[in-house]
């Protein structure tokens, strides 16, 4: 048997370890906010609906409608919440941002309603276009109203 040599365990600098723990705590806090939870529900339903609409089946229409309703419900919940970024603004800017955010969410809900109507009528090409527009709208909203990490 060869002579085995054990190397001493080297731990990271305490400040680095503290920084990593602090960043993980911040990430967890944002992920657990009601707005973030609502957005995560919307994202999951969006992905599932997108997968279903790739090759839609009439027999799955109720599933597609349920997913679209989940997206709408999550959007309506999110609409009534205040983005974290708004809390860091002066009161006058905060009010303007919240108003703009809610108007943006109202537009998103209108787009979701169009998606639901196209699914109800089995207009699959139109539903896929609606879903693509939703993704674009959501990205735009995140750029405008979501805090950069």
Q: Which two tokens stand for residue 78?
A: 């999110």
Q: What is the pLDDT of residue 148?
A: 53
pLDDT in tens, 36-77: 898 899 999 999 999 999 999 999 999 999 999 999 999 999
Q: Summarize pLDDT for 73-95 with one digit per residue, the tens.
A: 999 999 998 888 888 888 888 88
CATH for 82: 1.20.120.10
Q: Which pLDDT score is estimated for 46?
A: 92
CA angle 32, 35, 41 (to 5 degrees): 85
Confidence grade of residue 101 (pLDDT, cut at 50, 70, 90): confident
Q: What is the rounded average pLDDT of the residues 22-35? A: 56
Whether the predicted pLDDT of 16 surpasses 50: no
| Percent of the chain predicted with pLDDT > 90 | 45
Question: HEC profile for 15-57?
Answer: HHHHHHHHHHHHHHHHHCCHHHHHHHHHHHHHHHHHHHHHCCC
On whether residue 26 sits in a domain, the answer given is no
Under DSSP, the state recorded for 89 is S
Range of the domain at 109: 34-145
Domain count, the chain: 1
CA diameter of the chain: 75
Q: How confident is the model at residue 21 (pLDDT cuts 50, 70, 90)?
A: very low
Mean pLDDT over all residues of the chain? 81
Q: Are 10 and 64 in contact (CB under 8 A)?
A: no
Residues whose CB falls within 8 Å of the CB of residue 142, separated by 6 or more in sequence, listed in order: none
Q: Which pLDDT value is given to residue 35?
A: 84
Residue 40 located in a structural domain: yes
Residue 72 lies inside a defined structural domain of this protein:
yes
For residues 3 and 93, the model is more confident at: 93
Contact 86, 144 (CB under 8 A): no
User: Is 61 domain-assigned?
Assistant: yes
Provide the pLDDT for residue 84: 84
90 part of a folded domain? yes
Domain-located, residue 19: no
Residue 22: the pLDDT is 40
Asked whether residue 137 is assigned to any structural domain, the reply reads yes
Establish if 23 belongs to a structural domain: no
């Amino acid at each position: 048997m060869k002579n085995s040599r054990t190397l001493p365990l080297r731990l990271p600098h305490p400040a680095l370890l503290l920084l990593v723990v602090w960043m993980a705590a911040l990430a967890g806090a944002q992920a657990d906010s009601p707005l973030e939870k609502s957005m995560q529900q919307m994202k999951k339903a969006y992905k599932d609906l997108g997968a279903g609409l790739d090759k839609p089946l009439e027999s799955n229409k109720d599933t597609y409608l349920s997913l679209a309703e989940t997206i709408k419900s999550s959007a309506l919940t999110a609409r009534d919440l205040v983005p974290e970024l708004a809390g860091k603004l002066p009161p006058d800017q905060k009010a303007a941002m919240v108003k703009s955010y809610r108007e943006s969410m109202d537009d998103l809900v209108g787009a979701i309603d169009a998606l639901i109507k196209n699914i109800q009528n089995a207009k699959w090409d139109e539903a896929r276009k609606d879903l693509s527009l939703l993704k674009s709208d959501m990205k735009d909203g995140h750029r405008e109203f979501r805090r950069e990490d």
